[in-house]
Structure 1
Amino acid sequence: MPAGTIAVIDYGMGNLRSVSKALEHVADGRSVVVTADPAVVAAAERVVFPGQGAMPDCMAELDARGLRQAVIDAAASKPFLGICIGEQMLFEHSEEGDVPGLGILPGQVRRFPDAAMAAADGSRLKVPHMGWNEVTQTAHPIWSGIAQDARFYFVHSYFVVPADEALVIGRAHYGVPFTCAVARDNIVAVQFHPEKSARDGLQLLANFLAWRP
């Protein structure tokens, strides 16, 4: 495998083409490989863990394809980026389907409340949260070159609630305030979709590829 390879984990539940194409755009010639092979994940320099769909289905597919340990090992040993469900799966438990996650990070995944969700003008907010929203940053190299309160693209009904406030590097507001970016050591994970977030999303991916935790 070429030096500097970036592995995008394929467990059948991600928008892999969009993620891989966005990474290729900022990879500066490095190889981006979409893979379901644990050996390829283990050999990669960096790992991206995207996901779409329901948490129970994602966890089941991860296990069915024999990728659980590959994800755990990668998150323990190399620069690792979780995206959307790929962020949620890192935590201990999700209300969606009442299923355990990977337990790599401490905390829970909770659903937006259906009741009393209102915008500043009083209009009702629908779940899922879908569209562009501002992200308030806490200092981290992943935000380099990205303005405070830059807007990113979200599609989700659930969000992470970390048990350790020190994990939080990004927050947003949709009826209620919620955590939308976390980091610890070599791990960074975001609820929004950088691959769908125009210039700032590409900048975030470029920052991940340059990051030396």
Structure 2
Amino acid sequence: MNIVIIDYGAGNIQSIQFALERLGYSALLSDDPDVIKSADKVIFPGVGEASSAMNKLVESNLDKVIPLLKQPVLGICLGMQLMCAYSEEGETRGMGIFDVDVVKFSKKVKVPQIGWNQIRELKSPLFNGIMEKEYIYLVHSYYAPLSEHTIAITDYELPYSSAMRKDNFWGVQFHPEKSSGTGEQILKNFINL
């Protein structure tokens, strides 16, 4: 199994690598388009600010490579948000894989949302073996609204997409690598897709 984690300077890539190692898999870190294209599975992480992360993808031409990938791709946190059409954070144009605009939580709630919350209405093999209302770990101030792509919902001020899918692209707003046994099962399910 050839797993590649996209290394573009905006991810918590080592914690994802360690989580995969705990499951018995090794993953290669790479920003090389040919290495990424030849992978069996691709993980696209992201931590930080949307516009600077997107600029790094543009500089390395990965903004053109990622949307054309044919194998299963998992976007995590900011990675999922950059797969959307647009983000209010830094007025950032995304890759448009998901036809969704990412917006900021209102001033009525504490941002970022940090900590454990639940996922519900699970609709994908990504969640095989996961019960409704399991807890996952999140750190974010922006969210993807509900859409035709939504495969899991979390509530914080309002219901939003905590996971999305379109074709061979999956995205999760939460951090599976920090979500204990639930997150490990989700990573395992992704590898088994």
- TM-score for the superposition, normalised by structure 1: 0.87
Aligned to 1:107: 100
CA drift of 1:64 comes to 1.6
Taking only aligned residues, the RMSD between alpha carbons, in angstroms, comes to 1.2
Deviating runs (4+, > 6 A) in structure 1? none
1:150 lines up with 2:145 in the alignment: no
- Equivalent residues of 1:137, 1:143 under 8 A apart: no
> Residue 61 of structure 1 aligns with which residue?
56
SS of residue matched to 1:11: coil
Partner of 1:85: 78
Q: 1:136 aligns with which of 110, 120, 123?
A: 120
Give 1 or 2 for the bigger CA radius of gyration.
1
Q: Say which of 174, 177, 190 aligns to 1:192.
A: 174
Q: Number of residues paired by the alignment?
A: 193
Q: Which runs of 5+ in 1 are unaligned?
A: 118-125
Deviations 1:83-111 (A, max 9, x none): 00010011111111111101111010000
User: What residue is the counterpart of 2:189 in the other structure?
Assistant: 207
Take 1:15 and 1:40, find their aligned partners in 2: how far apart are those partners? 20
Structure 1 CA distance for aligned equivalents of residues 176 and 92 of structure 2: 26
Q: What amino acid is aligned across from residue 145 of structure 1 in structure 2? A: G
Deviations 1:167-194 (A, max 9, x none): 1111111122211100122111100000
Within a 5 Å distance, the mapping from 1:29-40 to structure 2 comes to 29=25, 31-40=26-35
Query: Does residue 1:97 correspond to 2:90, yes or no?
Result: yes
Which residue number in structure 1 is paired with residue 153 of structure 2? 171
1:6 Cα deviation after fit: 0.5
Identity of aligned residues (%): 38
* Amino acid across the alignment from 1:202: E
- Give the letter for the 2:12 counterpart: N
What's the secondary structure of 2:4's corresponding residue?
strand
User: What is the rounded CA distance, in whole Å, between the counterparts of 1:71 and 1:20 in structure 2?
Assistant: 20
Rounded to whole Å, the distance in 2 between the matches of 1:22 and 1:6 is 13
| SS across alignment from 1:139 | coil
Partner Cα separation in structure 1 for residue 8 and residue 128 of structure 2: 30
Q: Secondary structure at the match of 2:164?
A: strand
CA offsets per residue over residues 130-156 of structure 1, 9 Å max, x none? 000011133210111111100000000
CA distance in 1, matches of 2:145, 2:123: 19
Question: Contact conserved, 1:49 with 1:81, CA < 8 A, in 2?
Answer: yes
Post-superposition Cα deviations, 1:37-80, rounded to whole Å, max 9, x if no partner, equal 11100111110000000100110111122322221222xx1111
The answer to whether the Cα contact below 8 Å between 2:122 and 2:132 also exists between their aligned partners in 1 is: no
